[in-house]
Amino acid sequence: MNHQFILGENQEPLFAVIPYNEYMRVFASKEQTVRESETPKGIPLSIRLPNGGPGAAINLPRFVEYWSRKGILSMPINQRAKPFKDFESRERLSVEALVRMCFVSESYRNTMQVVTEVTDQLVATGLFQLVKFDSARMRDGELFVRSAALITDEDERLDIEKYSRAVKCLEIVKNAASQFIAANKPVDPIRDDWWRQIPSR
């Protein structure tokens, strides 16, 4: 089949008629390439908590907005399978405590929530990364220098003794988090003083 042209009143070409197979080969493939490149990576609005009871999940806009609003760059995960009331003071400002207090009902607050499956999903969003810091460089009242405290997998200091003192933390990816919050503002932000509600011994 030859190409055909539909002409206007002044005999100028307005439309071209081409075989359908040729159209699909030339135009549809280009359209698909553009569509795929423009599709942003999907970020879920919630992360399921397998130990939190029916329907329990981290509301990601609330979670990320709290970090951004408070200027938190990193926070110890503190995976602890122990009752909430037995948390030491240094464990109360942790991802585990935050999730137990703000995202599960009271009936499940003595069960560890931030299991590996949960941290993996948080990291998979691209809003957080997993890091390890030397606990000796995370003392209260002392200036925290990230570069000095960071322990990498290639770190020559990462021997058995060093590893036992490493603190596993979540670290926010600031630019990605800012964009996420701009598009997903939480309806019910986390209270600044949520940690005051943690049960005492």
Instruction: Find residue 58's DSSP bridge partners.
Output: 47
Q: Which residues contact 65 (CB under 8 A, 6 or more apart)?
A: 181, 185, 186, 189, 190
Under-50 pLDDT residues of the chain: 28-40, 160
For residues 157 and 81, give the distance between their C-alpha atoms in angstroms, rounded to a whole number. 29
Output the furthest CA–CA distance in the chain (Å, rounded). Answer: 90
The SS3 assignment for 86 reads helix
pLDDT of residue 83: 87
DSSP string, 136-179: GG--TTS---HHHHB--TT-TT-SHHHHHTEEEEEEE-HHHHHH
pLDDT of residue 36: 35
CB 198 within 8 A of CB 89: no
pLDDT of residue 81: 84
pLDDT of residue 33: 37
Structure tokens at 181: 């919050």
pLDDT of residue 24: 59
For residue 199, which of 80, 91, 86 has the smallest C-alpha distance? 86
